Structure formats: C-alpha cells, structure tokens
Amino acid sequence: AQSVAQPEDQVNVAEGNPLTVKCTYSVSGNPYLFWYVQYPNRGLQFLLKYITGDNLVKGSYGFEAEFNKSQTSFHLKKPSALVSDSALYFCAVRDRMDSSYKLIFGSGTRLLVRP
C-alpha cells in the first residue's frame, strides 16, 4: 500500500533562516513525488515534483526538494524563509506502477515563519 508520512505537524522558523519540511513515503514501486501548498481559504497549489533524473528538484517561490531513494524521503527546503511562506504544506506520492493516477497525500505540515 502507498503511504506518505509528514512527521511534523508544525515547523517554526525565523524569517531569513533556512527551512525544511520533512516527508517520507512508502510505495511498492518507484515513486512520483509532489509538494503542494495550501493558503487559508484557497485550493492546493502545486509547488514542485520529482519524476526522474536529478535528485534535487527546483520549484515555485524558491522552494526545492531532494529525493533520497535509500531513505525514501522527499524533504522540502528553502534557503531563506519569508513570512509569506507561512501556510500548510502537503507531500504526495504516486506509484508509477499503479495504473491509477490518484495521489496519496500526507497529513500536512503547518509552516510558521516569524518576522
């Protein structure tokens, strides 16, 4: 069965400091991995994805994520956090061997960037 774990309910960081939001996954085959962000009263917005190739993926708003196959992780990172980055972040996985295109989401991590 496919699953995603986001071990931290909330991450607190000061503006200007680097941030990391953790994600680990479990799939039977090889994964496609995604990060989405949700602002209050808004839909989920796509940030970035890993499909194949370079393990470091760059996405929107200066975010990046590193795929680590041995650790089955796909942590989201940003070198310098902004207050406006405060939001709810979701990691999602799709097993590339699965004929269904559905995404399996983690439970989310709330990022709070303090001024």
Partner 1 sequence: GAGVSQSPRYKVTKRGQDVALRCDPISGHVSLYWYRQALGQGPEFLTYFNYEAQQDKSGLPNDRFSAERPEGSISTLTIQRTEQRDSAMYRCASSFPDSTAEQFFGPGTRLTVL
Query: What is the rounded distance in angstroms from the CA atom of residue 44 to the CA atom of residue 54?
Result: 25
Residue nearer to partner 1 on the CB measure, 87 or 92: 92
DSSP 33-98: EEEEEE-TTS-EEEEEEE-SS-SEEE-GGG-EEEEETTTTEEEEEESS--GGG-EEEEEEEEETT-
Q: In the complex, what is the shortest distance from the CB of residue 90 to partner 1, in angstroms, rounded to a whole number?
A: 5
Using CA atoms of 32, 79, 12, 106 in order, give the dihedral in degrees to the nearest 10: 0
* Assigned token pair, 52: 């194949």
Residue 38 CB, nearest approach to partner 1 (Å): 9
Identify which range of 15-23, 69-77, 78-86, 90-98 contacts partner 1 by CB under 8 A: 90-98
Residue range at the interface with partner 1 (CB under 8 A); choices 15-23, 66-74, 76-84, 91-99: 91-99
Length of the chain: 115
74 part of the interface to partner 1, by CB under 8 A: no
Q: Residue from 15, 26, 44, 72 that binds partner 1 (CB under 8 A)?
A: 44
**Interface stretch with partner 1, choices 18-26, 28-36, 63-71, 76-84 (CB under 8 A):** 28-36
Q: Contact residues for partner 1 (CB under 8 A)?
A: 4, 32, 34, 36, 41-46, 49, 51, 90, 92, 94, 96, 99-108
